[in-house]
Amino acid sequence: MRQLQELVRENIWKLSPYSSARNEFSGRTAKVFLDANENPYNNPYNRYPDPLQIKLKEKLSQIKGVPVNNIFLGNGSDEAIDLPYRIFCEPGRDNVVAIEPTYGMYRVCADINNVEYRPVLLDEHFQVTAQRLLDACDAHTKLMWICSPNNPTGNLIDRWEIEKVLKSFEGIVIVDEAYSDFSSQRPFRADLAAYPNLIVLNTMSKAWGCAAIRLGMAFASSDIIALFNKVKYPYNVNLLSQQKALEILDDPYTVDKWVKMLLGERARMITAFLELSCCVGIYPTDANFFLVKMDNAQRIYDYLVDKGIIVRNRTRVQLCADCLRITIGTKTENNELLGALRMYVS
Protein backbone atom coordinates (compact mmCIF):
# COMPACT_ATOMS: atom_id res chain seq x y z
CA MET A 1 0.00 0.00 0.00
CA ARG A 2 1.12 3.56 -0.67
CA GLN A 3 1.47 5.93 2.28
CA LEU A 4 -1.96 7.00 3.46
CA GLN A 5 -1.14 10.65 2.86
CA GLU A 6 -0.38 9.90 -0.79
CA LEU A 7 -3.79 8.27 -1.24
CA VAL A 8 -5.88 10.94 0.51
CA ARG A 9 -7.05 14.09 -1.34
CA GLU A 10 -4.89 16.98 -0.30
CA ASN A 11 -7.80 19.17 0.88
CA ILE A 12 -9.08 16.36 3.09
CA TRP A 13 -5.64 15.65 4.54
CA LYS A 14 -5.35 19.34 5.48
CA LEU A 15 -8.97 19.74 6.61
CA SER A 16 -9.70 21.06 10.09
CA PRO A 17 -12.99 19.35 10.90
CA TYR A 18 -16.02 21.03 12.48
CA SER A 19 -15.73 20.98 16.22
CA SER A 20 -19.08 20.70 17.95
CA ALA A 21 -19.94 21.55 21.53
CA ARG A 22 -20.17 17.81 22.17
CA ASN A 23 -16.63 17.35 20.81
CA GLU A 24 -15.16 20.08 22.93
CA PHE A 25 -16.69 18.81 26.12
CA SER A 26 -17.34 15.07 26.06
CA GLY A 27 -17.10 14.26 29.77
CA ARG A 28 -20.14 12.77 31.47
CA THR A 29 -19.66 14.30 34.89
CA ALA A 30 -21.01 17.83 34.35
CA LYS A 31 -24.55 18.61 35.51
CA VAL A 32 -25.41 21.81 33.63
CA PHE A 33 -25.13 21.90 29.85
CA LEU A 34 -25.36 25.42 28.48
CA ASP A 35 -22.88 24.96 25.66
CA ALA A 36 -24.80 23.80 22.57
CA ASN A 37 -27.75 26.20 22.22
CA GLU A 38 -30.11 23.32 22.85
CA ASN A 39 -33.58 23.72 24.31
CA PRO A 40 -33.49 22.60 27.96
CA TYR A 41 -36.96 21.01 27.59
CA ASN A 42 -38.16 17.87 25.81
CA ASN A 43 -35.60 15.48 27.27
CA PRO A 44 -33.99 13.35 25.86
CA TYR A 45 -34.67 14.58 22.30
CA ASN A 46 -33.49 18.10 23.07
CA ARG A 47 -29.86 17.01 23.30
CA TYR A 48 -27.51 16.40 20.39
CA PRO A 49 -26.61 12.70 20.18
CA ASP A 50 -23.10 11.35 20.77
CA PRO A 51 -21.25 12.28 17.54
CA LEU A 52 -19.01 9.21 17.82
CA GLN A 53 -21.68 6.79 19.12
CA ILE A 54 -19.31 5.34 21.71
CA LYS A 55 -21.84 3.24 23.64
CA LEU A 56 -23.06 1.63 20.47
CA LYS A 57 -19.53 1.03 19.21
CA GLU A 58 -18.56 -0.62 22.50
CA LYS A 59 -21.44 -3.04 22.10
CA LEU A 60 -20.62 -3.68 18.44
CA SER A 61 -16.98 -4.14 19.32
CA GLN A 62 -17.89 -7.13 21.51
CA ILE A 63 -20.18 -8.65 18.92
CA LYS A 64 -17.98 -8.09 15.89
CA GLY A 65 -14.63 -8.63 17.59
CA VAL A 66 -13.27 -5.32 16.29
CA PRO A 67 -11.76 -2.62 18.58
CA VAL A 68 -13.80 0.59 19.00
CA ASN A 69 -11.08 2.64 17.29
CA ASN A 70 -11.47 0.56 14.15
CA ILE A 71 -15.22 1.17 13.80
CA PHE A 72 -17.09 3.88 11.87
CA LEU A 73 -20.89 4.12 12.02
CA GLY A 74 -22.88 5.83 9.31
CA ASN A 75 -26.33 6.64 8.00
CA GLY A 76 -26.60 3.23 6.35
CA SER A 77 -23.81 1.64 4.38
CA ASP A 78 -24.69 4.34 1.87
CA GLU A 79 -22.68 6.84 3.91
CA ALA A 80 -19.77 4.42 4.29
CA ILE A 81 -19.79 3.91 0.51
CA ASP A 82 -19.85 7.63 -0.30
CA LEU A 83 -17.18 8.71 2.19
CA PRO A 84 -14.23 6.84 0.61
CA TYR A 85 -14.89 8.73 -2.64
CA ARG A 86 -14.90 12.05 -0.83
CA ILE A 87 -11.79 11.15 1.17
CA PHE A 88 -9.61 9.46 -1.46
CA CYS A 89 -10.82 10.36 -4.97
CA GLU A 90 -10.03 13.67 -6.65
CA PRO A 91 -13.01 14.38 -8.96
CA GLY A 92 -12.11 14.29 -12.66
CA ARG A 93 -8.74 12.71 -11.98
CA ASP A 94 -8.89 9.53 -9.89
CA ASN A 95 -10.74 6.30 -10.65
CA VAL A 96 -12.03 3.20 -8.91
CA VAL A 97 -12.26 -0.47 -9.96
CA ALA A 98 -15.17 -2.76 -9.11
CA ILE A 99 -16.47 -6.20 -9.95
CA GLU A 100 -19.44 -6.28 -12.36
CA PRO A 101 -22.27 -7.01 -11.84
CA THR A 102 -22.48 -5.81 -8.25
CA TYR A 103 -24.33 -3.49 -5.88
CA GLY A 104 -25.42 -0.34 -7.73
CA MET A 105 -24.44 2.25 -5.11
CA TYR A 106 -20.70 2.00 -5.84
CA ARG A 107 -21.30 3.32 -9.35
CA VAL A 108 -23.90 5.93 -8.33
CA CYS A 109 -21.53 7.40 -5.73
CA ALA A 110 -18.72 7.42 -8.31
CA ASP A 111 -20.96 9.31 -10.75
CA ILE A 112 -22.10 11.80 -8.08
CA ASN A 113 -18.49 12.47 -7.13
CA ASN A 114 -17.36 12.67 -10.78
CA VAL A 115 -14.95 9.76 -10.31
CA GLU A 116 -14.31 7.33 -13.17
CA TYR A 117 -15.81 3.87 -12.49
CA ARG A 118 -14.04 0.87 -14.02
CA PRO A 119 -16.15 -2.30 -13.96
CA VAL A 120 -14.41 -5.68 -14.35
CA LEU A 121 -16.78 -8.34 -15.64
CA LEU A 122 -17.06 -11.50 -13.55
CA ASP A 123 -16.65 -14.86 -15.31
CA GLU A 124 -19.48 -17.35 -15.90
CA HIS A 125 -19.15 -18.59 -12.30
CA PHE A 126 -19.43 -14.98 -11.08
CA GLN A 127 -15.77 -15.08 -9.99
CA VAL A 128 -12.83 -12.81 -10.78
CA THR A 129 -9.06 -13.17 -10.49
CA ALA A 130 -6.88 -10.69 -8.64
CA GLN A 131 -4.91 -10.28 -11.87
CA ARG A 132 -7.93 -9.08 -13.85
CA LEU A 133 -8.77 -6.51 -11.16
CA LEU A 134 -5.18 -5.30 -10.96
CA ASP A 135 -4.95 -5.09 -14.78
CA ALA A 136 -7.81 -2.55 -14.69
CA CYS A 137 -5.85 -0.22 -12.39
CA ASP A 138 -3.54 2.65 -13.20
CA ALA A 139 -1.63 5.21 -11.12
CA HIS A 140 -4.90 7.05 -10.36
CA THR A 141 -6.85 4.04 -9.07
CA LYS A 142 -7.64 4.78 -5.44
CA LEU A 143 -10.35 2.27 -4.53
CA MET A 144 -11.29 -1.31 -5.35
CA TRP A 145 -14.87 -2.48 -4.62
CA ILE A 146 -15.44 -6.17 -3.87
CA CYS A 147 -18.85 -7.26 -2.61
CA SER A 148 -18.83 -10.74 -1.04
CA PRO A 149 -21.31 -12.40 -0.82
CA ASN A 150 -22.02 -10.43 -3.96
CA ASN A 151 -25.29 -8.71 -4.78
CA PRO A 152 -27.15 -9.61 -7.05
CA THR A 153 -25.35 -12.90 -7.72
CA GLY A 154 -25.37 -14.17 -4.11
CA ASN A 155 -22.03 -16.00 -4.20
CA LEU A 156 -18.87 -15.41 -2.20
CA ILE A 157 -15.94 -14.07 -4.20
CA ASP A 158 -12.94 -16.40 -3.93
CA ARG A 159 -11.21 -15.45 -0.68
CA TRP A 160 -7.78 -16.25 -2.04
CA GLU A 161 -8.20 -13.77 -4.90
CA ILE A 162 -9.35 -11.03 -2.49
CA GLU A 163 -6.29 -11.69 -0.32
CA LYS A 164 -4.04 -11.41 -3.36
CA VAL A 165 -5.62 -8.03 -4.20
CA LEU A 166 -5.13 -6.87 -0.61
CA LYS A 167 -1.45 -7.79 -0.80
CA SER A 168 -0.70 -6.33 -4.23
CA PHE A 169 -3.01 -3.34 -4.76
CA GLU A 170 -1.41 -0.01 -3.83
CA GLY A 171 -4.73 1.65 -2.94
CA ILE A 172 -7.71 0.91 -0.69
CA VAL A 173 -9.70 -2.33 -0.99
CA ILE A 174 -13.30 -2.18 0.21
CA VAL A 175 -14.91 -5.55 0.94
CA ASP A 176 -18.67 -5.14 1.37
CA GLU A 177 -19.85 -7.95 3.64
CA ALA A 178 -23.46 -6.80 4.01
CA TYR A 179 -24.52 -10.47 3.81
CA SER A 180 -21.72 -12.10 5.80
CA ASP A 181 -24.11 -12.92 8.67
CA PHE A 182 -25.69 -15.49 6.35
CA SER A 183 -22.37 -17.07 5.40
CA SER A 184 -20.16 -19.43 7.34
CA GLN A 185 -16.95 -18.12 5.79
CA ARG A 186 -14.51 -16.22 8.01
CA PRO A 187 -15.40 -12.52 7.68
CA PHE A 188 -12.70 -10.14 6.48
CA ARG A 189 -13.14 -7.89 9.51
CA ALA A 190 -11.27 -10.62 11.44
CA ASP A 191 -8.18 -9.88 9.32
CA LEU A 192 -8.17 -6.12 9.71
CA ALA A 193 -4.83 -6.07 11.53
CA ALA A 194 -3.09 -7.82 8.63
CA TYR A 195 -4.22 -5.35 5.95
CA PRO A 196 -3.77 -1.58 6.49
CA ASN A 197 -5.50 -0.92 3.13
CA LEU A 198 -8.68 -2.87 3.98
CA ILE A 199 -12.10 -1.37 4.65
CA VAL A 200 -14.88 -3.86 5.51
CA LEU A 201 -18.54 -2.83 5.32
CA ASN A 202 -21.31 -4.35 7.46
CA THR A 203 -24.90 -3.22 7.95
CA MET A 204 -27.82 -3.51 10.35
CA SER A 205 -30.17 -3.65 7.35
CA LYS A 206 -30.13 -7.35 6.54
CA ALA A 207 -29.59 -10.09 9.18
CA TRP A 208 -30.24 -7.64 12.02
CA GLY A 209 -33.60 -6.65 10.58
CA CYS A 210 -33.10 -2.89 10.96
CA ALA A 211 -33.09 -1.40 7.45
CA ALA A 212 -35.38 1.42 8.65
CA ILE A 213 -32.96 2.84 11.23
CA ARG A 214 -30.21 3.37 8.60
CA LEU A 215 -27.13 2.09 10.35
CA GLY A 216 -24.08 0.95 8.43
CA MET A 217 -20.59 0.12 9.63
CA ALA A 218 -17.08 0.39 8.28
CA PHE A 219 -14.17 -1.45 9.89
CA ALA A 220 -10.66 -0.23 9.04
CA SER A 221 -7.33 0.92 10.45
CA SER A 222 -7.66 3.65 13.09
CA ASP A 223 -6.01 6.08 10.64
CA ILE A 224 -8.68 5.46 8.01
CA ILE A 225 -11.45 5.63 10.64
CA ALA A 226 -10.07 9.00 11.77
CA LEU A 227 -10.46 10.26 8.19
CA PHE A 228 -14.07 9.02 8.06
CA ASN A 229 -14.78 10.83 11.33
CA LYS A 230 -13.22 14.02 10.05
CA VAL A 231 -15.36 14.15 6.89
CA LYS A 232 -18.73 12.80 8.11
CA TYR A 233 -21.61 15.07 9.20
CA PRO A 234 -21.10 15.76 12.92
CA TYR A 235 -24.27 13.97 14.10
CA ASN A 236 -24.64 11.43 11.31
CA VAL A 237 -26.40 8.76 13.41
CA ASN A 238 -29.44 10.12 15.23
CA LEU A 239 -30.41 9.25 18.80
CA LEU A 240 -33.39 7.07 17.87
CA SER A 241 -31.23 4.92 15.60
CA GLN A 242 -28.53 4.58 18.24
CA GLN A 243 -31.11 3.52 20.85
CA LYS A 244 -32.88 1.06 18.56
CA ALA A 245 -29.54 -0.47 17.51
CA LEU A 246 -28.50 -0.96 21.13
CA GLU A 247 -31.81 -2.67 21.76
CA ILE A 248 -31.46 -5.20 18.94
CA LEU A 249 -27.78 -5.82 19.73
CA ASP A 250 -28.88 -6.84 23.22
CA ASP A 251 -30.90 -9.61 21.63
CA PRO A 252 -28.46 -11.55 19.43
CA TYR A 253 -30.39 -14.74 20.18
CA THR A 254 -33.38 -13.49 18.19
CA VAL A 255 -31.16 -12.46 15.28
CA ASP A 256 -29.56 -15.90 15.33
CA LYS A 257 -32.99 -17.46 15.19
CA TRP A 258 -33.95 -15.29 12.20
CA VAL A 259 -30.79 -16.22 10.33
CA LYS A 260 -31.29 -19.95 10.94
CA MET A 261 -34.91 -19.70 9.86
CA LEU A 262 -33.99 -17.80 6.71
CA LEU A 263 -31.24 -20.27 5.80
CA GLY A 264 -33.68 -23.15 6.26
CA GLU A 265 -36.26 -21.42 4.09
CA ARG A 266 -33.61 -20.65 1.50
CA ALA A 267 -32.77 -24.34 1.16
CA ARG A 268 -36.46 -25.22 0.91
CA MET A 269 -37.08 -22.52 -1.71
CA ILE A 270 -34.16 -23.62 -3.86
CA THR A 271 -35.36 -27.22 -3.87
CA ALA A 272 -38.88 -26.09 -4.75
CA PHE A 273 -37.68 -23.77 -7.52
CA LEU A 274 -35.67 -26.54 -9.14
CA GLU A 275 -38.92 -28.45 -9.60
CA LEU A 276 -40.65 -25.57 -11.41
CA SER A 277 -40.84 -25.99 -15.17
CA CYS A 278 -40.18 -22.22 -15.66
CA CYS A 279 -36.91 -22.42 -13.66
CA VAL A 280 -33.80 -22.88 -15.79
CA GLY A 281 -31.23 -22.90 -12.98
CA ILE A 282 -30.19 -21.44 -9.63
CA TYR A 283 -26.83 -19.90 -8.81
CA PRO A 284 -24.96 -20.72 -5.58
CA THR A 285 -25.76 -18.33 -2.74
CA ASP A 286 -24.33 -17.37 0.64
CA ALA A 287 -26.90 -14.62 1.26
CA ASN A 288 -30.58 -14.20 2.22
CA PHE A 289 -31.53 -14.23 -1.47
CA PHE A 290 -30.81 -16.25 -4.53
CA LEU A 291 -30.45 -15.48 -8.20
CA VAL A 292 -32.47 -17.72 -10.49
CA LYS A 293 -32.54 -18.03 -14.27
CA MET A 294 -36.08 -18.40 -15.58
CA ASP A 295 -37.41 -19.23 -19.02
CA ASN A 296 -38.73 -15.66 -19.37
CA ALA A 297 -37.85 -13.38 -16.45
CA GLN A 298 -39.74 -10.34 -17.70
CA ARG A 299 -42.96 -12.24 -18.30
CA ILE A 300 -42.76 -14.01 -14.93
CA TYR A 301 -41.92 -10.75 -13.17
CA ASP A 302 -45.00 -9.07 -14.68
CA TYR A 303 -47.14 -12.10 -13.82
CA LEU A 304 -46.01 -11.94 -10.18
CA VAL A 305 -46.55 -8.15 -9.95
CA ASP A 306 -50.09 -8.80 -11.14
CA LYS A 307 -50.53 -11.13 -8.18
CA GLY A 308 -49.09 -8.55 -5.76
CA ILE A 309 -45.75 -10.37 -5.37
CA ILE A 310 -42.64 -8.33 -6.01
CA VAL A 311 -39.26 -9.90 -6.74
CA ARG A 312 -36.26 -8.15 -8.30
CA ASN A 313 -36.01 -8.35 -12.05
CA ARG A 314 -32.29 -8.42 -12.94
CA THR A 315 -32.70 -9.42 -16.57
CA ARG A 316 -31.08 -6.22 -17.89
CA VAL A 317 -27.98 -6.62 -15.68
CA GLN A 318 -24.83 -7.95 -17.39
CA LEU A 319 -24.49 -11.77 -17.09
CA CYS A 320 -27.98 -11.90 -15.53
CA ALA A 321 -30.19 -12.20 -18.62
CA ASP A 322 -33.51 -13.79 -17.66
CA CYS A 323 -32.60 -13.72 -13.98
CA LEU A 324 -34.77 -12.83 -11.01
CA ARG A 325 -33.38 -12.12 -7.57
CA ILE A 326 -35.55 -13.65 -4.87
CA THR A 327 -35.29 -12.44 -1.28
CA ILE A 328 -36.16 -15.07 1.34
CA GLY A 329 -39.25 -14.00 3.28
CA THR A 330 -41.38 -15.66 5.94
CA LYS A 331 -42.62 -19.18 5.29
CA THR A 332 -46.03 -17.74 4.39
CA GLU A 333 -44.59 -15.22 1.94
CA ASN A 334 -42.36 -17.83 0.36
CA ASN A 335 -45.31 -20.18 -0.05
CA GLU A 336 -47.31 -17.42 -1.76
CA LEU A 337 -44.51 -17.02 -4.29
CA LEU A 338 -44.22 -20.77 -4.85
CA GLY A 339 -47.99 -21.13 -5.15
CA ALA A 340 -48.13 -18.40 -7.80
CA LEU A 341 -45.23 -19.87 -9.78
CA ARG A 342 -46.77 -23.35 -9.73
CA MET A 343 -49.88 -21.88 -11.37
CA TYR A 344 -47.83 -20.05 -13.98
CA VAL A 345 -48.19 -21.38 -17.51
CA SER A 346 -45.17 -20.74 -19.76
Ligand X SMILES: *Cc1c(COP(=O)(O)O)cnc(C)c1O
Contact residues toward ligand X (CB under 6 A) are: 76-78, 103, 147, 151, 176, 178, 203, 205-206, 211, 216
Shortest approach of ligand X to residue 195 CB, angstroms? 20
Please say which residue, 95 or 180, places its beta carbon nearer to ligand X: 180
Q: Residue 240 and residue 39: Cα distance in Å, rounded?
A: 18
- In this chain, which residue has its C-beta nearest to ligand X? 76
Q: Strand 289-294's sheet: what is its strand order?
A: 279-282, 289-294, 323-327, 312-313
d(CA 145, CA 106): 7
Cβ 295 to ligand X shortest distance, Å: 27
Contact status, residue 264 vs residue 74, Cβ threshold 8 Å: no
Given a contact cutoff of 8 angstroms between Cβ atoms, the answer to whether 162 and 146 are in contact is yes
CB-nearer residue toward ligand X: 8 or 204:
204
Smallest gap from Cβ 236 to ligand X, in A, equals 13
Cα Rg of the chain, angstroms: 22
Q: How far is the CB of 62 from ligand X (least distance, A)?
A: 21
Between 162 and 278, name the residue whose CB sits nearer to ligand X. 162
Q: What is the dihedral of CA 213, 254, 176, 265, to 10 degrees?
A: -110
Task: Give 211 or 310: the residue with its C-beta nearer to ligand X.
Answer: 211
Q: Strand, helix or coil at 230?
A: helix
Closest CA to 313 of 299, 289, 297: 297
What one-letter code names the amino acid at 345? V
What is the smallest separation between the CB atom of 76 and ligand X, expressed in angstroms?
3
Q: Residue 173: left (phi > 0), alpha (psi -120 to 50), or beta? A: beta
In the bound state with ligand X, the residue whose beta carbon lies nearer, of 103 and 273, is 103
Q: Which is nearer to ligand X, 244 or 299 (CB)?
A: 244
Give whichever of 259 and 280 is closer to ligand X, judged by the CB atom: 259
- DSSP H or E run through 281: strand 279-282
Least distance CB 215 / ligand X (angstroms)? 7
Beta carbons within 8 Å of 151's beta carbon, 6+ residues apart: 102, 103, 178, 179, 287, 289
Q: Provide, rounded to whole angstroms, the least separation between the CB of residue 324 and ligand X.
A: 16
Name the nearest CA neighbour of 200 among 223, 235, 172: 172
